[in-house]
Chains A and B, each alone.
Chain A
Amino acid sequence: MKKPRTMKLSLPDEELVGSGNLACQGCGATLAMRYVLKALGQRTVLCIPACCWSVIDGPFPHSCLDVPVYHCAFETAASTASGVKAGLEMVGDTETTVVAWAGDGGTFDIGIQALSGAAERNDDIIYVCYDNEAYMNTGIQRSSATPFGAWTTTTPVKHFKNRPKKDIDAIMAAHRIPYIATASIAYAEDVYKKAKKAKDIQGTRFLHIYAPCPTGWKSRPEDSIRLARMVVQNSIFPLYEIENGEKYTLSIKVKDKKPIHDYLKLQGRFRHLTEDQIKFMQEEVDKNWARLLRKVESSD
């Protein structure tokens, strides 16, 4: 212990997520919650529908979170958050941030109706979707966030998913809500910055956080952060912000785009893919990336 150097942490050291939670080893969703709560602070109410986080939180009289949690029905994350916000305003509390925290199933499939309603009313809530690309809590079933080619228990290897992932950010942009951002847990400061920015904006704000799931993706737990970084660098999941539904800004400008091959090889759910299928996926990724770049250029 020589080197006297003052340690500078890139994030505040206040922890609102406690140890002893029931997450799997190498869980990305826990990290997403940790970074977002660091930014939002103690004055936050969480509305959690059925998703991994309703389990990670712990059984009834216990909770690993230091903020109030409201467990609601699967399809009602956004409408519950709207109701909590309206109730708080009735008693004169305008400072507390209300967060709907849902997984990708509760956002892309089941909760989209409530989310669309809340976005249309422009209710003053933050909606966070942590995206692990299937219904991981109930046992890895296909959701509309599952990417092309992935194995799940309902899309087995012989009949793997042959449709692309739903573009939820474009759907939310079409609602003209004030703030939409995509984030990845490998870029912790970026998640923190975006959650902080979302806190200061009025209206419906949507955060889409990429959270790897070693259990469902059949990847090694220590690769979680690496996968979350690779997915940004090969632009399968680019990081950008959309303000008022039209102003696109890239958060991380990817200089040399990496091929998706290495990313797929780290995950067991893509093991069955042939070279032709990977080539097809690469073409789709390039097309989506070009489309996003066009949007960014046209909004400058």
Chain B
Amino acid sequence: MIRKKEAKKIVFQSEKEMPMMPMSLGSMLYNKTGAWRNIRPVVDLENCIQCGICWKFCPDMSIFIENEFPYVNYDYCKGCGICAEECPVKCIAMVEEEK
């Protein structure tokens, strides 16, 4: 279970290294989906009412709760904008990504 949480891509050098049966050996965390994003959510923690709705509706599991406040994991956020749309006090802004 510990190994599953590593963000490492598994590459087999030959078929001899492959397991006998097709089984999952690692998580998809190596795939940094943050690169798909055009707009990024920015949480204004001053106005946050800590309702947890952004966390509840995030399809990429990229909003995490720390010290009772939501934070965005920009490694995996795909920038869909559901959190900004569903926030009841509109304290999440979608900001254009800079190159």
Contacts and interface: CB of A to CB of B under 8 A. Distances in A.
A20 B65 contact: no
- Chain B interface, DSSP helix/strand/loop, else mixed: loop
Contacts of A25: 36, 78-80
A62 B81 CA distance: 27
Contacts of B50: 3, 5, 7
Contacts, number: 123
A153 B62 CA distance: 32
Interface residues of A, number: 43
A225 B60 CA distance: 14
B2 to A, nearest CB: 12
A231 B42 CA distance: 29
B59 A28 contact: yes
- Chain A interface, DSSP helix/strand/loop, else mixed: loop
Interface stretch (A63-71, A84-92, A157-165, A275-283): A63-71
A225 B82 contact: yes
B95 interface: no
Given A7-B52, A25-B80, A224-B82, A61 B60 contact: no
Nearest to B84: A222
Most buried by A among B23, B59, B62: B59
B36 A19 contact: no
A223 B56 CA distance: 15
Nearest to A29: B59
A93 interface: no
Given A7-B50, A9-B56, A62 B79 contact: no
Given A222-B82, A224-B82, 5 more contacts: A8-B52, A19-B60, A20-B32, A61-B25, A225-B86
Interface of A: 1, 3, 5-11, 13, 15, 17-23, 25-28, 30-31, 34, 58, 60-66, 69, 188, 214, 220-226
26 contacts: A1-B46, A5-B68, A7-B50, A7-B52, A9-B52, A9-B56, A18-B29, A19-B29, A19-B60, A19-B62, A20-B32, A22-B28, A26-B80, A31-B59, A34-B61, A61-B10, A61-B23, A61-B24, A62-B25, A62-B26, A62-B30, A63-B27, A214-B80, A221-B81, A224-B82, A225-B82
